[in-house]
Amino acid sequence: MKDIYSKWDQTLYFKYLKQFNLPPKQMIKTFSKGMRKKLEIITALSSCPRLLILDEPTSGLDPVVRSEILDIFQEFLVDEKNTILFSSHITSDLEHIADYIIFLNEGQVLLNEQKDDILENYAILKCDAKYFEKIDHSDFISYKKNKYEYQVLLSNKKKALKKYQGAVIDKVTLEELMILLIKGVRV
């Protein structure tokens, strides 16, 4: 690889091979999917980039390998000159590593905010149909009616906790947020 890239850190490459337990003399075509994904990421990082653009970097990997790869990404990001831009449908990966979240649906930006602000400010109010009728429509973004309850996406958790004191208001996960933004009824 050192002849392909203008910048190549051979020491880092072999460090990652050892860390990921990849045999340096084994033919790549005999690697499993997880081993190939690790090798792709090792190769990218060993070329000393400042920006990594990745599409579904942990897709199809088991949770242990995903965690190892996310830890490597965290190491890379310790240097504040480095940036990773990646698309993923695995929202737990985004919660683990992302600073900013941009949700796209059919080319339209539905949300563009700092991850910590999203997790701090957004919430889900869960209620029955009778309680749902009492909720001010200006207080929520969308809702989804399930068999037994309504799930209402709120963008101002603090305001809702004061205004709807008897309601169940839970923290939102990025997955729940994505579902309610895409599949929920918008107001």
- pLDDT value of position 121: 96
Domain that holds residue 120: 116-186
pTM above 0.85, yes or no: no
123 and 82 in a single domain? The answer is no
pLDDT for residue 168: 94
In a domain, 160, yes or no: yes
CA nearest neighbour of 132 among 95, 84, 184, 66? 184
**Co-location of 120 and 146 in the same domain:** yes
pLDDT (0 to 100) of residue 4: 86
As a whole number of angstroms, the longest Cα–Cα distance in the chain is 68
Q: Do both 17 and 84 map to the same domain?
A: yes
pLDDT of residue 60: 81
For residue 67, being part of any structural domain is answered with: yes
Give the pLDDT of residue 24: 87
Does a structural domain hold residue 103?
A: no
91 and 127 belong to one structural domain: no
User: Mean pLDDT in each 10-residue stretch from start to end of the chain (187 residues)?
Assistant: 86 92 90 87 93 90 87 91 92 91 92 96 95 93 94 95 92 94 89
What SS3 state is found at 187?
Answer: coil
Question: Can you spell out the DSSP letters for 106-137?
Answer: TTEEEEEEEHHHHHHH-EEEEE-HHHHTTS-G
Q: With respect to residue 147, please indicate whether it lies within any of the assigned structural domains.
A: yes
